[in-house]
Amino acid sequence: MLNVLSVASECAPLVKTGGLADVVGALPAALAHEGVGFRTLLPGYPAVLKALGDAATVYTEPNLFGGPGKLLAGTAAGLDLLVIDAPHLYDRGGSIYLSPKGRDWPDNPERFAALCWMAARIGMGAIDDWRPDVLHCHDWQAGWVPEYLHDMGGTGKVGTVMTIHNIAFQGNADAAKIPALRLRHSRMTKDGYEFWGRASALKAGLMGADKLTTVSPTYARELMTDSFGMGLDGVMRLRSADLSGILNGIDEEVWNPATDPEIKPYKTPRGKAANKAALRAEIGLDEAEGPLCVMITRLTEQKGVDLLLEAMPTLLARGGQLAVLGSGDPAFEDALRNAARNDQVAVHIGYDEALSHRMIAGGDAILVPSRFEPCGLTQLYGLRYGTIPVVGLTGGLADTVINASTAALDVQAATGIQFNPITAQSLRSALSQLCDLYADSTTWAKMQKNAMRQPVGWGPSARAYAALYRDIAPSS
């Protein structure tokens, strides 16, 4: 059995702000079939400690970035967990990253440096009866792990993987924090963790880990370009030989239209009709001639919310409807509330996991007009439920949706619609094409069946991760 410690700031279903949590939560079960044993290291947020319940203290750190910290071992939600109990860092209101006023916690660099410090300690053998062969570090919050591991003399004693879920979030801190973060000033260079005069946790991970991964093959290629690398494209090109694009999967037990307790279960696209009627009744939409489109997302520019607002009249003019679930930029929230004055538009500001299942089951199409999307999960949920994805041609969206081109339609292989360039005008054209396809009941039914047959699980990706782990695990 190969032992892996997954190091992350969030993990579904315990604590979640986005797709990162879904992936971290799904990996242990996915890799179990590959002979990989997982433990997941998480900060001790109140929700995590509450779910953990009784747990054993397996390690103590007298001064964990401003106060004492304990490492607790236990299980919750079927996950084998190590949780950092450090109230001075994690016992607070607001979200896990933001204060109740919606601003980053000023000590976020220290809060997640503590996560990395404890991961490195575990990698060095801090726990008496368990030691990982590989530390799998997720996003900038785990970026300092290779740096600390090196300083503790751990290079070569445990393998390290750094996964980029979204390179836009880099964990950059003022250089004045270097002493507080327990970093060496000598590493504040272009070959170390320096990034435009700041200390970058993500760059540290990218420079120091044995292997790098990201969450789709197309995003791996995009990261090496000026347009998508967010200033780190040079680093990505430097490490290109160690970079893999491993596509995310979804939990096919949680997302299964045949057994989903939140919906009227179905095994074929015909079963969507009852869910569509129930969804319309729930969100206050009448029957309509065109497709019911759903969008479940963070309301940000990255996600193309502004493009949707511009293109929406095209959908509505063709008899289509729109239902949106999400929260984010207050300006987009207000714009969507205003759009919902139209009786063919329904908007729910906030997040509701159960409602997301009902929307995906009841929708005809799911809109993902992202300007960039490392992998994306909502289009995978859509495919699983026979809800046709309309996506921008980028990242994992390019890798997971078979575009309804003339050739794909001729061989009856299409599963969705891709549009490029990612502009409001292109989205208008995609929505017009969607309405045309929806009006052709034979073609539409075939696309739904294709979508529901599309592989969206973890099997191939789990095998790729297992091979990567074995490649970097120290020989016994």
Q: Is 449 annotated as a binding residue?
A: no
- Distance (Å, rounded) from C-alpha 346 to C-alpha 344? 7
Give me the helices (H) in 175-232, please.
201-208, 217-222
Asked if 387 and 367 count as a contact pair (C-beta separation under 8 A), the reply is no
Residues contacting residue 69 through CB under 8 Å, at least 6 positions apart: 60, 61, 84, 85, 86, 89, 114, 118
- DSSP-derived letter for residue 4 is E
Asked if 323 and 279 count as a contact pair (C-beta separation under 8 A), the reply is yes
Q: Alpha carbon 189 to chain centroid distance?
A: 30
- Distance (Å, rounded) from C-alpha 143 to C-alpha 113? 8
Phi-psi region of 371 (alpha: psi -120 to 50; beta: other; left: phi over 0): alpha
Which is it for strands 36-43 and 79-85: parallel, antiparallel or unpaired? parallel
Asked if 303 and 369 count as a contact pair (C-beta separation under 8 A), the reply is yes
Q: How many CB atoms are located within 10 Å of the residue 429 CB?
A: 15
Question: Which among 87, 45, 82, 48 is positioned nearest to 66, based on CA atoms?
Answer: 87
Question: Which among 352, 355, 346, 437 is positioned nearest to 389, based on CA atoms?
Answer: 437
Burial bucket for residue 82 (CB in 10 Å: 0-12, 13-18, 19+): buried
- Distance (Å, rounded) from C-alpha 83 to C-alpha 61? 13
Give me the helices (H) in 42-187, please.
46-52, 87-90, 108-123, 145-151
What is the per-residue DSSP string for 231-254? Answer: T-HHHHHHTGGGEEE------TTT
Residues contacting residue 454 through CB under 8 Å, at least 6 positions apart: 383, 384, 400, 402, 415
- Distance (Å, rounded) from C-alpha 239 to C-alpha 411? 39
Residues contacting residue 261 through CB under 8 Å, at least 6 positions apart: none
Known binding residues are 16
Known binding residues for ADP-alpha-D-glucose are 16
